[in-house]
Amino acid sequence: MKVALITGITGQDGAYLSEYLIKKGYEVHGIKRRSSLFNTDRIDHLYQDPHVQDRSLILHYGDLTDSMNLTRIIEEVQPDEIYNLAAMSHVKVSFDTPEYTANADGLGVLRILEAVRLLRLVEKTRIYQASTSELYGLVQEVPQRETTPFYPRSPYAAAKLYAYWITVNYREAYGMHASNGILFNHESPLRGETFVTRKVTRAVARIALGMYTKMFMGNLSSRRDWGHAKDYVRAMYAILQQEKPSDYVIATGVMTTIRDFIRKAFGEIGIKVDFKGKCTEEVAIVTAMDKIRFGETVGEEYIQGMEKRIGEEVVGVDPQYFRPTEVEMLIGDASKAREQLGWEPKYGIDALIKDMMESDLLLMKKDAYIKKGGYRALNYFE
Ligand code: NAP
Ligand code: GDD
């Protein structure tokens, strides 16, 4: 049985990757941070009681900023594969927490590489580093491939730049099987709620259910190459199965603006929105409704409420979401991954949005039910 250690197991990718590896017969160990609330929602379906024998999922408390803790866990687990997915992964937040981001996202992987070296696990343990298309930042070439020069545009990207190169350096210096997956944006129903796609699908669902009136967004013109996280964790695994370590771009090769993502998310439930105005004055207005589609996707009982919104604004711009330096466009060329890993994405942008909208509609209906007192009272003193 192969043993994998995943840092960031409670995150979006950690959840999909653990399920994928457990299905392949791995014993999966994950590092999670201590938190005052349960933070394992995304992997609860995989959780096994510690008293179960031969568990396939084992969690350890830890933090990427604590080298001794990482070294101890790696020594205990003796992993065949380490997937370093843990990071302060929000680009905008990295401008507020630059030092912490450098520590966790930059030095974090150094601590892992060094632990593997000092524990004499170089021959046994393969390492995957979660690198990112953010490295390309102010893009120097379109589309971006493995040879495109980097130009980071945020503390997050600058930290990930160090992480990228220290991974390459340990590979070259010590012969480690250490690889970078340069993954372009990937999303899913498990995506964190403050990333743009999830913010949009949640808001569209709430607007459709009459729980919310208008969403406020940042730069509507930036463009991203969005894939589905399920496809991308397959690539992580494939990278570590290669005989030789290397770095790979993982992307769909299709680029969409935030504006079009919003249009498509509303379109998924039969609502047409049109954008008008410029810069901070830009808004989106509901201009038409396909009642049959809306009834099928959202529910007939919500048609009347939504019909009243025709002609009204549902999207506005709030400069608080602008970034001091923006990455305006990202589009990847994953030819190397296609040729060497045999990797192809199964989800296109429309299938991704469908998956996310379906999931958020269900979640929001449950949320509305709870707020009506369905599951439990929300007020602690009543
Ligand atoms: P995510 O949902 O934000 O998950 C990040 C994970 O890292 C969470 O489990 C988080 O724990 C954990 N973490 C944060 N700081 C930590 C620390 N100091 N010590 C230990 N764990 C820590 O991110 P994701 O979307 O799954 O992305 C996974 C990795 O791929 C990240 O490194 C990200 O930067 C990178 N990446 C993501 C994308 C993308 O589009 N999703 C693209 C390229 C690269 P909590 O649950 O406790 O917060
Ligand atoms: N989050 C957010 N919220 N982004 C917005 C908003 C908003 O209200 N309005 C517009 N945007 C724009 C951002 O300015 C950015 O250009 C784009 O939407 C995508 O933002 P995010 O979804 O926050 O993702 P990201 O591209 O900055 O970073 C993600 O992808 C990287 C890979 O390229 C993260 O997952 C990173 O961890 C990852 O490395």
Atom of ligand 1 nearest to the CA of 13: 26
DSSP 8-state secondary structure symbol assigned to residue 225: -
Q: What is the pLDDT of residue 209?
A: 96
Atom of ligand 1 nearest to the CA of 185: 40
**What spacing in Å lies between the alpha carbon of 196 and ligand 2's midpoint?**
6
Distance (Å, whole) CA 161 – CA 302: 47
Residue numbers annotated as active site: 132, 134, 156
Q: What is the pLDDT of residue 367?
A: 79
Residues near 28 by beta carbon (within 8 Å), at least 6 away in sequence: 3, 4, 6, 9, 18, 21, 22, 56, 57, 58
Which pair of tokens denotes residue 326? 């923006």
Phi-psi region of 25 (alpha: psi -120 to 50; beta: other; left: phi over 0): left
**What spacing in Å lies between the alpha carbon of 13 and ligand 1's midpoint?**
8
C-beta separation of 296 from 234 below 8 A: no
Q: Which of 43, 85, 127 to mutate to test the pocket of ligand 1 (most atoms within 8 A of CB)?
A: 85
Q: In a structure prediction context, what are the per-residue pLDDT tens digits for the chain, which is 382 residues long? A: 999 999 999 999 999 999 999 999 999 999 999 999 999 999 999 999 989 999 999 999 999 999 999 999 999 999 999 999 999 999 999 999 999 999 999 999 999 999 999 999 999 999 999 999 999 999 999 999 999 999 999 999 999 999 999 999 999 999 999 999 999 999 999 999 999 999 999 999 999 999 999 999 999 999 999 999 999 999 999 999 999 999 999 999 999 999 999 999 999 999 999 999 999 999 999 999 999 999 999 999 999 999 999 999 999 999 999 999 999 999 999 999 999 999 999 999 999 999 999 999 999 998 777 666 655 544 555 4
Cβ–ligand 1 distance for 33 under 6 Å, the answer: yes
| Whole-prediction pTM | 0.97
Element (H, E) at 350: helix 349-371
C-beta separation of 95 from 154 below 8 A: yes
Residues near 38 by beta carbon (within 8 Å), at least 6 away in sequence: none
Own/partner long-range contacts of 279-283 (Cβ < 8 Å, ≥24 apart): 279/317, 280/317, 280/318, 280/319, 281/317, 282/220, 282/316, 282/317, 283/313, 283/315, 283/316, 283/317
Nearest CA to ligand 1 atom 4: 11
Q: Which ligand is nearest to the CA of 154?
A: 2
- 184 closest CA partner among 225, 136, 146: 225
